[in-house]
Amino acid sequence: MLPWLVLGVWIALLVGGYSLAGKLDSVTRDGQVDYLPASAQSTKVIQAEAGLPGGENGLLMVVYERPGGLQPGDRKAVERGRSLLVDRFGNDTDALPQIVDSDDGTALMYALSLDHEATDDEAAVTTGARDVLADRPTGLNAYVTGPTALGADMDEVFDAVDAALLLATAVVVAVLLILTYRSPLLWLVPLIAVGAAAITAMGTVYALSQIFDFTVTSMSSALLIVLVFGAGTDYALLLVARYREELHRHERPIDAMLAALRGAGPAILASAATVIAGLLCLLAADLNNISGFGPVGAAGIASAVLVMLSFFPALLVLLGRRVFWPFVPRLGSEAHTSHSGWARLGELISRHRVISWAVPLVVLGGLALGTVGASGSLPQLDQFARSTPDSVTGAKLIEARYPDESGQPLTVMSRPDRSREVLAVVERTPGVAKAEIGRASDDWVEISVIPVDAPESAAETATIMRLREQVHEVAGEAALVGGPSAETLDEAEANKGDRNLVMPLILLVVLAILGLLLRAIVAPLVLVATVVVSFFGALGLCNLVFDHVLGFAGLEPSVPLIGFLFLVALGVDYSIFLMTRVREEAARHGTVEGTKRGLAVTGGVITSAGLVLAATFAVLATLPLVMLVEIGILVAVGVLIDTLLVRSIVVPALTMSLGSRIWWPSKLWRAG
């Protein structure tokens, strides 16, 4: 009766949750202000611009090129397109933007400032501009680029991510479950449950966003899907393994399931609590997208563990033993693990304890050296992994054809009474090509600045920092420096600060949870240390892959922090599953024998769980954004290292080497 009741409640919840899950896209925001910290100068510039006539400024850069040289009639086509764009999208229809010729006579370029309505819908204005420019002579190429077009192309990629990611993740999980269970029915049950968890998670995030103020971005929405599928499938694998074990001892499936929940439930709950606590540490981050992912990811894990410990067990019990066909567990028989490969591995580790932990740690330390000399932050123009949109092609064309005018406009905001002084200082600043006063309101005056150097170059960064220092000396808080390149600089600085704050916080929280779970101090320190070494080994290896194999232009600044969170929190999961079983066995057989028994019993299922999680995150590598590709590869590689090397060899070897001392200061340590 109880399983039917649980199933009925969940069906009712899922019917209601499905409509909420469909609304998640409506609260997803990907504007620059949704990523930047509120304290950043560039964020304050965006907010100040909103109060100017015409609202927040938008900018399109239009560049035409004929590789063999411009022909008669090309300029007239450019002028015609310019007039149409100004009439349709410009913020000043009386002033036509100046057309600039390239030195080699192959290109023409102009910059179009957009009105407020056009800025509100980047995709519509970018698509509309490209449609207008389609009317041009044959052989004359036209590209719409600039901050607005780049944002629109990024949004277009993100819009296609969720559906493709959900389908690809479901297919990967289904294939891995079929290979794991080799059953025509059993693989479908976890997949249905994980799908229910995903619906629950998306509906929960939407509901929470209506109550609390946090940012939901397309990045966090994509990571939510992967996280729920990966973690939910892991919980299913661990519960099914214990349930199968208990079916050998109990006649009724419901009794076996209750015993399985008592045995595996605490470890699964501790694992989920560890990941949730780690995710909530992100609330301390300064960047809006990172801090917003904290509650999004936490809601996903909470949904996954709730579904997998209630809805999923109810399904299994109602289906009975036949769900395992053709490998149905029989009452009274026992699964033989003493002669398994994992038991033999445990014996081998026991005979070579020091070598078993020392050699892998040295190898991981060597891999960590790959972080030295790695490429810097990923430039904005190199964020697309599969194809190059027109906005990127156009921006790189401007850099190549207009080396002295390829600087991306910066915006200096000044209080009206200091605007002339600020303008004079800006014009004298080294690295500034030109500056002029633009729009004004009662509160702010806008000064448009064109730097000499290419966007996101070291020279341009130095110019931004000089500008901020010098206008601050003249006007203090009454002057601000922003613009796309300043936003990138502020984001990189905030990422650095977030890493320095959040990473240690995650370690402290994970240590505390492990200490409470294992009732020891030494074991948590050992487990966290091995996971940290595993992370830096994975990061070093992936840096080499990103630089020398995939040819990426750099590492997206938020990737190390997100990768650290997942690899520490999820990596510790597998050690929790192993060490809780080892502790259980050590209480009866001693630490060394208990470690061997725990490894023999859990080795197969934890390895399967790790492979599923790694494959789930690897799906991100198929997406067209370098940031998601880097996160997917880093987490997948880190999980494989942790599952196949650290958890399978290093942790058991260290546990056997330390003996009962690993449980200090608990009763198990005193028992010897």
Among candidate residues 468, 466, 452, 460, the one with its CA nearest the CA of residue 413: 468
- Return residue ranges of the chain for CATH 3.30.70.120: 41-156
Report the C-alpha gap between 605 and 611 in whole angstroms. Answer: 10
What span, in angstroms and rounded, lies between the C-alpha atoms of 475 and 477? 6
- 62, 109 contact by CB (below 8 A): yes
Tokens of 149: 């077009």
Q: What pLDDT digit, counting tens, does each position of 394-446 carry? A: 888 888 888 766 667 889 999 998 888 999 999 999 988 888 888 888 889 88
- The secondary structure element, H or E, covering residue 58 is strand 58-65
Q: Tell me which CATH code domain 1-30+162-335 carries.
A: 1.20.1640.10
Could you tell me which residues come within 8 angstroms of residue 624 by beta carbon, excluding any fewer than 6 positions away? 157, 384, 385, 386, 387
**pLDDT value, residue 55:** 64
- Contact between 50 and 89 under an 8 Å Cβ cutoff? The reply is no
Sheet holding 100-101, edge to edge: 100-101, 107-114, 58-65, 141-145
pLDDT in tens, 84-107: 888 888 876 667 888 888 888 899
Q: Which residues contact 97 (CB under 8 A, 6 or more apart)?
A: 82, 86, 110, 111, 112, 113
Q: What pLDDT score does 281 carry?
A: 92
Instruction: Please give the biggest Cα pair distance in the chain.
Output: 93
**Nearest residue to 649 (alpha-carbon basis) of 574, 586, 588, 573:** 574
For the chain, what is the radius of gyration of the CA atoms?
29
Which is nearest to 450 in space by CA: 408, 400, 394? 408
Low-confidence ranges of the chain (pLDDT < 70): 54-57, 92-94, 116-120, 160, 162, 332-339, 373-375, 404-407, 670-672
Reported as a single tens digit per residue, the pLDDT across 353-377 is 999 999 999 999 999 988 876 667 7
- Answer left, alpha or beta for residue 141, where phi above 0 means left and psi between -120 and 50 means alpha: beta
Domain with CATH 1.20.1640.10 in the chain: 1-30+162-335
Three-state SS sequence of 87-155: HHHECCCCCCCCCEECCCCCEEEEEEEECHHHHHCHHHHHHHHHHHCCCCCCCCEEEEECHHHHHHHHH
Distances (CA, A) of 282 to 36, 560, 615, 636: 15, 13, 25, 21
Q: Which residue has the tokens 């390149």?
A: 485
What are the two backbone dihedrals, phi and then psi, of residue 95, each rounded to the nearest 5 degrees?
Answer: -120, 115
Q: What pLDDT, on the 0 to 100 scale, is given for residue 299?
A: 94
First to last CA, the chain: 46
CATH tag, 41-156: 3.30.70.120
Alpha-helical runs (H) found in 160-217: 161-181, 188-211
3-state secondary structure of 438: strand
Q: How many CB atoms lie within 10 A of CB 73?
A: 11
What CA–CA distance (Å, rounded) separates 372 from 544? Answer: 10
The contacts of residue 41 (CB under 8 Å, 6+ apart) are 468, 480, 481, 482, 486, 490
